[in-house]
Amino acid sequence: MGKVNKNIMKLGAIAMFVGTLAACSDTGGTKVAGWKSFSGDPVIEAKVDSVLSLMTLEEKIGQMNQYSANFAPTGEVADNQSGEYLKRGMIGSTFNAFGAANVRMLQEQNLKYSRLKIPMLFAADVIHGLETTFPIPLAEACSWDLNLMERTARAAADEATASGVAWNFAPMIDMSTDPRWGRVMEGAGEDVYLASLVARARVKGFQGISDYSDLNKNNTLIATAKHFVGYGAAQAGRDYHTVDISERSLNETYFPPFQAAIDEGVGSFMTAFNDLNGIPCTGNKHLYTDILRNAWGFNGLVVTDYTAILELIAHGYAEDLKHGAQLSLDAGIDMDMISEAFVTHLQELVEEGSISENQVDVAVARILEMKFLLGLFDDPFRYCDVEREKEVVMNDEYIQLAHEAAQGSIVLLKNENNVLPLKKEDKKRVALIGPFVNERKSLNGEWAIKGDRSKSVTLKEGLDAKYADSNVKFSYAKGTDLPLIDRQTEKVSTGNVPDRSGFAKAVNVARNSDVIVVAMGENYHWSGEAASRTDITLPGNQRDLLKELKKTGKPIVLVVFNGRPLDLSWEAENVDAIVEAWYPGLMAGHAVADVLSGDYNPSAKLVMTFPRNVGQVPIHYNVKNTGRPFNDDTPADYRSNYIDVANSPLYPFGHGLSYTTFDYSNLKLDNKAFSKGGAIKATIDITNTGNYDGEEIVQLYIQDITASVTRPVKELKGFEKIALKKGESTTVEFTIDEKAIEFLGVDMQPIAEVGDFNLWIATSSDDESNHTRFTYN
């Protein structure tokens, strides 16, 4: 790279000098050897080249350094390490700074100190909304409504960009089949086909259409596919724990959502904390260079997870921070979140020849390109418009969307004798019991980054509003408390054990009612990062309270607020209805009241299996048959099953009830067979046979019966969410082509093998009532 031109320091606006230099440079490809641009746009490449050619090595390294905004966001630069780097113009990106005015102030300071006036890139974890909090991602995925997920991501991006943020550390697309792992709340469940579609919908919502030029709008931001890879397979569900995944599982299950995100044009990737098959991801060259960059052609920006380079030492992979810096740069990582490894050691590593300056240039080129694509060089303050912020954040349309998303995420797990809905016109005394009736703080769930927890609508408020002028009368008793974790004082986080002193009043209230509505769950800190559990039943003595309430003989409706599949085995046997509300976000109470009253007919279905107990974990619907499958025709001994519990889950993937009923009939194939290049169509008639208008998620499952690599007992290959008025019928059609029967062969390449296949069109993964077979020949 060329030497620094000192005269450039006299240039004022960065846009001006970049424009000038870009015009001067040839457009015949970039000068940075080994750098392939994300956009492929020669004009952008020339601009990146121009800026790079003016930078000192120290300045380049500064671009690769990311901090959390712990330096005074409302005053002069703080007198601490990060403040010092800022004063030297050596922070390329900051996260956790919010608000148009704050970000403007930080950007002004950065430009004051950055010799070349390179704008800083502001990032944040906008996981399920900025201030307008949508349901947690796992809940929202239960809507199976890709358009809804795209719209909430779009709204989140609009609010975030109005508040200064141009880079989002979302979506989290880690696959997991382990509800002990607290971060399942951030994902899209256990199925790779559905999760890949959800990944695309969310990336599209954050970034705009599948075209990098959309990033140039002031209301789109860069999305991050995280955490690459295998983070959700932490041993025993303990966060950050060791991960060992076969090459086949990586390719079949863990990679596809990331590949889908790339197909959708995702701009950045984040590393995973975990050790994958013996090599920590953040220093894994095979993963980041051979696979991500070379095999998949990803040319965007890769950032480490928080202090992940530093953690290479504890992993036993790097001798010290300097070694860690070398390992991660060699792996293909561009930006260091928090570790200060790059900013402290890269210069020395270049000078001693352990890494090349070209490696630094490639990383910096990727970072600068994103800043150009976002338009930050044209206007570093384009995300800092206070007026826009006031208009956009928590506007009525987004609050309404939060309501819609919350309704669409609630899963009705059980509804015996149609105890629900509790109609407004019915003359009923309802006992309202449990720690979640008036709970407000937990309703947003974890990662509600700027969601004001004091604004979420409680269940009680929602019900009071819903039933204000009705015949339904409520009496309330809390009964018990949610246990909390004090991580500072308790080594083992069992939670404090709440006492039973509230039980008697609760039972009394219950006795004087016609129906009991119980609102229970987990405190929001019990899921999310570093919130793994070994016991996934309702925490504390909530079940004990339920047992006392059960003795009253009154029908019980249990509403659960939680961030993971729970073991609700006792509850499923002993209560009459279960409403899985998850953490519904800002409009929680209204959405649950809509469902309880029947004003909204529940339409969501599980995207993660609910086990009968934690011993069944990991559990998922798309298992292999084994050589000794559980089958009633075989002798009971020596089968692949448990002695103490059934193989089947409590509630399977794809399960979710409605207040109406749907009849599936007349499953037909237009052809019994197809061959290469061809396809067949499967159709089924669906009728709403109940008393409510409703929505149904119709699911297509396929099994390759015999193959050169054993296949699961069934795999989701399509779905359609339909709306039917009562009495109405429709025909749902699926096309089955090679893509639908393809799998990774012995050589890990996609293959469609000749043979016979089972096909089901079903209301849930355990519904086998509509089955047929076809042949691929």
Active site residues: 305
Q: Which is nearer to ligand NOJ, 272 or 650 (CB)?
A: 272
CB of 127 to ligand NOJ, least distance (A): 8
Residue spans of beta strands (DSSP E) within 215-292? 224-228, 268-271, 275-276, 279-280
Query: From the CB of 240, what's the least distance to ligand NOJ, in Å?
Result: 9
How does strand 167-168 pair with strand 224-228?
unpaired
By C-beta, is 270 or 716 nearer to ligand NOJ?
270
User: What residue type is 201 in one-letter code?
Assistant: A
Q: Is position 439 an interface residue for ligand NOJ (rule: CB under 6 A)?
A: no
For ligand NOJ, how many residues bind (rule: CB under 6 A)?
Answer: 6
305 binds ligand NOJ (CB under 6 A): yes
- Lay out the site mask for ligand NOJ across 349-388 (x = CB under 6 A, - = otherwise): ----------------------------------------
Q: Does residue number 125 form part of the binding site for ligand NOJ (CB under 6 A)? A: yes
What is the C-alpha to C-alpha distance for residues 113 and 537, in angstroms, rounded to an integer? 54
| Residues within window 529-548 making contact with ligand NOJ, judged by CB under 6 A | 529
Give, as ranges, the residues between 220 and 239 that touch ligand NOJ (CB under 6 A).
Answer: 226
Q: Which amino acid is at 66?
A: Q
Q: What are phi and psi of 341, to 5 degrees?
A: -75, -45
Looking at the Cβ atoms of 48 and 188, the one nearer to ligand NOJ is 188
Looking at the DSSP assignment, which residues form a beta bridge with residue 334?
A: none
By C-beta, is 461 or 529 nearer to ligand NOJ?
529
DSSP for 599-642, written as a single string: SS------SSPBPSSGGG-S--SS----SS---TTS-STTSSS-
Residue nearest to ligand NOJ (CB): 169
Provide the token pair at 549: 């309430």
What's the Cα-to-Cα distance from 463 to each of 432, 469, 474, 558, rounded to whole Å?
A: 10, 11, 9, 15
Binding mask 460-499 for ligand NOJ (x = CB under 6 A): ----------------------------------------
CB of 305 to ligand NOJ, least distance (A): 5
Q: How many CB atoms lie within 10 A of CB 289?
A: 15
Beta carbon nearer to ligand NOJ, 232 or 435:
232
Q: Which is nearer to ligand NOJ, 226 or 440 (CB)?
A: 226
Q: How far is the CB of 341 from ligand NOJ (least distance, A)?
A: 16
Q: Which is nearer to ligand NOJ, 234 or 346 (CB)?
A: 234
Question: H-type helices in 300-353, by residue range?
Answer: 311-314, 321-331, 341-351
Helix (H) or strand (E) holding 48: helix 42-54
Q: Which is nearer to ligand NOJ, 274 or 480 (CB)?
A: 274
Residue 174 binds ligand NOJ (CB under 6 A): no
Cis before 635 (ω within 30): no
Could you write out the DSSP letters of every residue in 177-194?
Answer: --TTSGGGGGS--S-HHH
Query: Residue 379 and residue 323: Cα distance in Å, rounded?
Result: 37
For residue 392, the minimal CB distance to ligand NOJ (Å) is: 23
- Sign of the C-alpha dihedral, residues 259, 260, 261, 262? positive
State in angstroms the smallest separation of the CB of 114 from ligand NOJ: 23
Residue keyed to tokens 């059934």: 646
Residue 237 to residue 257: CA distance in whole angstroms: 20
**Nearest in space to 775 (alpha carbons), one of 715, 704, 709:** 704
Q: Is 720 in the site for ligand NOJ (CB under 6 A)?
A: no
Contact 233, 620 (CB under 8 A): no
CB of 267 to ligand NOJ, least distance (A): 15
Subset of 500-529 contacting ligand NOJ (CB under 6 A) = 529
- Cβ proximity to ligand NOJ: between 186 and 385 the closer is 186
169 binds ligand NOJ (CB under 6 A): yes
Q: With 0-12 CB in 10 A as exposed, 13-18 as middle and 19+ as buried, what is 486? A: exposed
**Closest separation in Å from C-beta 221 to ligand NOJ:** 14
Give me the least distance between CB of 265 and ligand NOJ, in Å please.
20
Give the per-residue contact string, 263-302, with ligand NOJ (x = CB under 6 A; - = no): ----------------------------------------
Least gap, CB of 661 to ligand NOJ (angstroms)? 41
3-state secondary structure of 432: strand
Among positions 113, 306, 381, 570, the unique one binding ligand NOJ when judged by CB under 6 A: 306
H/E stretch holding 660: none
719 binds ligand NOJ per the rule CB under 6 A: no
C-alpha angle with apex 365: 361 to 367, nearest 5 degrees?
A: 120
**Nearer Cβ to ligand NOJ (85/269):** 269
Structure token pair of residue 11? 């240039």
The token duo for 319 is: 């001798």
- Of 204 and 226, which has the nearer Cβ to ligand NOJ? 226
Query: Distances from the Cα of 509 to the Cαs of 471, 478, 479, 596, 643, in angstroms?
Result: 18, 10, 10, 20, 41
Q: What's the maximum distance between 2 C-alpha atoms anywhere in the chain? A: 87
The nearest distance, CB 15 to ligand NOJ, in angstroms, is 30
Report the site for ligand NOJ in 383-402 (rule: CB under 6 A): none
Look up residue 453 and give its two tokens: 């927890």
Q: Which residues contact 381 (CB under 8 A, 6 or more apart)?
A: 104, 107
Residues of the shown chain interacting with ligand NOJ in the complex, contacts defined by CB under 6 A: 125, 169, 226, 305-306, 529
